[in-house]
Structure 1
Amino acid sequence: MKKNSLISKDIIPTLAKQRVISGFGFFNIWVGMAVIIATFQIGANGIDSMSLWQLGGAILIANIIIAVIGSLSGDIGVEHGLSFAAYLRAPFGTRGVHIPAVSKGIIASIWFGIQTYLGATAINYIFNSLTGFDSWFFWYVAFAAVQIINTAMGIKAIDRFAIVAAPSIILISIWIFFKVSGMADDKGIDVYTYVGTNDTTTWFLVMAANMGFWSALAVDIPNITRYVKAPKNERNWLKRNKNNYIPHLTALPIVQTFMGVIGAVSFLGTGLWNPIEVIQQTSTGWVMAVVLLMVVLAQWSTNSAANLIPASLTFVNAGARFKLSYTVGIILAGIVGTLFQPWAILDQLFVFLGYYGAVLSALAGIMLCDYYIIRKRRLNVKELYEEEGQYKFDGGVNWAGLLSWLIAGGAAVYFLDYMYLVGFPLGIACYYVLMKFWYLKRHPQKEIQSNFSDEFLGTTVGRDWYIAVDEKEESVAPSFDQIEAK
């Protein structure tokens, strides 16, 4: 056990007693994750070609679709307590998993850098105005360090922070909306009746861009839902997942749509997509302090749950043989995100969103096909942590998963304007065909051969998956019968 390269205490399944986040807590976390200053740019880029209502509709529909996909993938965490990277061993193999998982970890790290940079520039503006000290990179390092320390304190610290951050962000966002709306009124623009006439973008492209925006979190949300409370012995999916899908379907679409609308109104009123910059340039005193609070809370709350945790767990999964810890993974995520120079990527945000959204759309299709269609939510969890188990496939690689990802991801990149609508269904179709008519014949899976026995379910039947980290722990780990007896 000590030499097992697949086991680390940070990526074994969570137990019922470790699930400390309520539905309201998950809602607060989602509010924090959904407020991304970069979202303002999406709204601004679309308003010249349509009305505010059309723009809001495109963003809302895109995020409802993503919320549904996120809710479906979130059941992996609810049912089995698995992280994103640990689950990917099933469709990609115990070694093949590192290609999509580490790629996703790098993307999350880059997003951490982008968010931290946006926050640092706002902090620098405030302090430069008050003290004359001007160094955005100093504040970048300081802000990054604070976020890393908070995230390293664990999921409960993130939950507590969200309780404060979520209502503060909502209130300040409403204030910002009325502030920039007033600026538009001063220019004689009625934001509610304005209709853009340029053909620089379309309703469909705005929707597709927004789907790409959240494609990452739609696949790795099990990293959070594995800590969400769920009723044991509940076979009804809707009842078991109410703390999962209700926050998804409320917080993400509503908050994200509002952020896009704010960006659009800011652009109409000032010509700048970022209302934070606008208010900084036109305000002083307590108003600047309020804006600073908004920036810090928005970037911090997003980075902790949406970027640092996912990135860290993919790095921990890849470095399990070296006993890479959760904290070291978080620090590594901060370093990687900085090395990619996020301040340069921000200038090409839509290009970045397009390519990574396209690749991850295919990954989402493969994950959901494997979980719901191929395995019907059953999973031989203990063998996910066995080097010679059923998920070793061919030398640790599930070629059905990798080939499907290459085909569907490549097609999504080629049809970049339609990325999610190409990559997601094609990922499902390719993976299903390759598994059903090729790979399952070569590598039978116990959960499927059992005719989908309840032996391979978790929360639905009240089961916690105990994975021993070392031999001593293995000798005292309770059996399922003992758990039921309690």
Structure 2
Amino acid sequence: MKPDTTAREPLPAESLDVHDPDPSLYNDDLAPLPVSKRGWGAFEIFNVWSNDIQSLFGYTLAATLFISYGLNGWSVFAAIVLSGVIVMALVNLVGRPSVRYGIPFAVMARASLGVHGSQFPTLVRGVVAIFWFGAQTYLASTAIALLITALFGPGPEATFLGMPLVGWVSYTIVAVFQVALFIRGIAWIGTFLNWAGPAVYVVMFVLLAVIWAQAGNGLFAEIGEVFAGSGDYEGGPVAAFSAIVGTMVAYFAAVVINYGDFSRFVRTEKAMRRGNLLGLPVSLALFSFLALFITAGTAVLHGEALTNPADIVERVDNIWLTVVASLTFFVATVGINVVANFVPPAYGLANLAPSKISARTGGLITAAIAFVIGGLWVGFIEQIGIAAFVDTLGAVLAPLYGIIVADYYLIRRRRMVVSDLYSTSPDGAYHYTRGWNLRALTAFVLASVFSVATVWVPALSGLAGFAWLLGALAGAAAHVVFARLAPRAPAAA
């Protein structure tokens, strides 16, 4: 191979032109994005994470952590903040090359796995996202169903595939809205997130004020009980603390892998890091604090701790608050659904055949498949234990993060040849064996077997909370070892 003559610090994205790209690897959606065409700053990145945290599932998870592990409240807060710091470090690492070169995750994966070898893991990532896109579309529709019911009544009780007429109307509204938002482009998605993130916090503060006014001093007594902790978690407080950290890291894992799809729209690396800091440990701590107080208030008012925001809003006797809160939680759930579960498969499908499939076409294919999945969720898919299947696919993907990061920082020393990411020439830096890096793919398979074992092997069930992190570390270690056992000279610019 040719000797590497690239600079240790890469040139600005505007000067990294792609010369004579192969049509099978290139289209406008996958091309490097110059800084002059980027419109995101720290605020947009902050709102990517805020919307991830603020979804209906995110609220339920945060509230449940305080009442299910037996730890005192401060320990739970510490575990949540620590998980935010860990995720922040992970995305700062994987997001940096996409900021510098303006390339999405699917293209970044070509450097380590080969220009064709990247197709398999990005397709698996897309499958995971499509399943969750359908499920989250259904969850977002419950907020719209609550709104419609509050304004017009429940409607006919007859159900089809587990959902009544109001449910199907709500589900269709959400599905169409998400497709329209995606088609409008990343600028509209950014604007939508910028509105949704702060709006949810405003509604949560209002909801807290209403519940506080109704619960009175009993709110603080209930919070005191939560902060005291029951101490009854099997394995003791250290195991409980570790379980919370592992659960929260796993919650963000899907976005971590393809974070480059969003960091490529940020103007500077400094803005990305600032947005990650505010959006992860800081926003996560604030949201968890609000979820704790609101959930404690529901325990005082209703005799049980309600962890689903839709259930909480439904029991608040205020039609206007119900309307506003329903709309706000709807947009928050839609926001993260588009970010975490719509964009990845759209780019992944485009990466399969760039000359035939654009990101927009990939998004439409995603939406069509996900609509069927979400429509069948209540009546069929949820009943057959699909979560284990999706968890398995997620475990398969975990080593991909480690391989990409280790390849960029430890093997290539932060040097990339952008034109070769779009070239099938045998002399290209990332051609390897007919476009496949067999050593990296071997590392990927071996580490994935370990990750999947934590899902299915009972003896490894104790590692389940950290399966993603351990899989990523295993993938990184195997990739570095295989690369050094059979060294390959870096390619030239």
1:295-333: CA deviation from partner (whole Å, max 9, x where unpaired): 122012212333222221111111214x21221111122
1:213 lines up with 2:251 in the alignment: yes
Q: Residues 198 and 349 of structure 1: is their aligned pair in 2 closer, same or farther, counting only changes over 3 Å?
A: farther
CA distance, structure 2, for counterparts of residue 372 and residue 403 of structure 1? 20
1:175 lines up with 2:206 in the alignment: yes
1:381 lines up with 2:418 in the alignment: yes
Tell me which residue corresponds to 2:272. Answer: 244
Q: Residues 213 and 385 of structure 1: is their aligned pair in 2 closer, same or farther, counting only changes over 3 Å?
A: same
Q: Residues 183 and 334 of structure 1: is their aligned pair in 2 closer, same or farther, counting only changes over 3 Å?
A: farther
- Aligned 1:11-410 pairs, distance under 5 A: 11-46=30-65, 47-48=67-68, 49-132=70-153, 133=155, 134-179=165-210, 186=218, 189-191=222-224, 193-199=227-233, 202-230=240-268, 241-263=269-291, 268=296, 269=299, 270-321=304-355, 323-341=356-374, 342-343=377-378, 344-345=381-382, 355-388=392-425, 389-410=428-449
Q: Residues 193 and 22 of structure 1: is their aligned pair in 2 closer, same or farther, counting only changes over 3 Å?
A: closer
Q: CA deviation at 1:87?
A: 1.0
128-137 vs 152-161, greater mean Cα deviation: 128-137
Runs of 5+ unmatched residues, structure 1: 231-240, 448-454, 456-486
Identical-pair percentage: 23
Which residue type is aligned with residue 104 of structure 1? R
Which residue type is aligned with residue 58 of structure 2? T
Q: CA deviation at 1:281?
A: 2.8
SS at match of 2:364: helix
SS at match of 2:223: coil
Would you say the 8 A contact 1:106–1:337 is kept in 2? no
Which residue type is aligned with residue 325 of structure 1? S
Q: Residues 445 and 276 of structure 1: is their aligned pair in 2 closer, same or farther, counting only changes over 3 Å?
A: same
The alignment's TM-score, normalised by the length of structure 2, stands at 0.80
Q: CA deviation at 1:173?
A: 2.4
Q: Residues 43 and 33 of structure 1: is their aligned pair in 2 closer, same or farther, counting only changes over 3 Å?
A: closer
CA distance, structure 2, for counterparts of residue 395 and residue 3 of structure 1? 14
Tell me which residue corresponds to 1:417. Answer: 465
Would you say the 8 A contact 1:102–1:314 is kept in 2? yes
Q: Residues 304 and 317 of structure 1: is their aligned pair in 2 closer, same or farther, counting only changes over 3 Å?
A: same
- Aligned 1:391-470 pairs, distance under 5 A: 391-413=430-452, 414=454, 415-438=463-486, 440-441=487-488, 444-447=489-492
Would you say the 8 A contact 1:357–1:419 is kept in 2? no
1:111-141: CA deviation from partner (whole Å, max 9, x where unpaired): 3223221110111122123223442122112
CA distance, structure 2, for counterparts of residue 158 and residue 363 of structure 1? 27
Runs of 5+ unmatched residues, structure 2: 1-19, 156-164, 455-462
Would you say the 8 A contact 1:362–1:424 is kept in 2? yes
Which residue type is aligned with residue 245 of structure 1? R
Q: Residues 276 and 56 of structure 1: is their aligned pair in 2 closer, same or farther, counting only changes over 3 Å?
A: farther
Would you say the 8 A contact 2:25–2:423 is kept in 1? yes
SS at match of 2:266: coil
CA distance, structure 1, for counterparts of residue 336 and residue 416 of structure 2? 31
Would you say the 8 A contact 1:29–1:162 is kept in 2? yes
Q: CA deviation at 1:53?
A: 2.2
Q: CA deviation at 1:2?
A: 9.1
Q: CA deviation at 1:385?
A: 0.8
132-141 vs 115-124, greater mean Cα deviation: 132-141
Would you say the 8 A contact 2:25–2:351 is kept in 1? yes
Q: CA deviation at 1:175?
A: 3.0
Would you say the 8 A contact 1:109–1:308 is kept in 2? yes
SS at match of 1:390: coil
Q: CA deviation at 1:351?
A: 5.2
CA distance, structure 1, for counterparts of residue 257 and residue 407 of structure 2? 13
Q: Residues 339 and 435 of structure 1: is their aligned pair in 2 closer, same or farther, counting only changes over 3 Å?
A: farther
Q: How many residues align structurally?
A: 434
CA distance, structure 2, for counterparts of residue 185 and residue 359 of structure 1? 49
CA distance, structure 1, for counterparts of residue 27 and residue 478 of structure 2? 32
Q: Residues 183 and 427 of structure 1: is their aligned pair in 2 closer, same or farther, counting only changes over 3 Å?
A: farther
Tell me which residue corresponds to 2:24. Answer: 5
CA distance, structure 2, for counterparts of residue 248 and residue 166 of structure 1? 14
Q: CA deviation at 1:216?
A: 1.6
Would you say the 8 A contact 1:208–1:417 is kept in 2? yes
Q: CA deviation at 1:178?
A: 4.8
368-377 vs 93-102, greater mean Cα deviation: 93-102
Would you say the 8 A contact 2:29–2:359 is kept in 1? yes
SS at match of 1:193: helix
Tell me which residue corresponds to 1:236. Answer: none
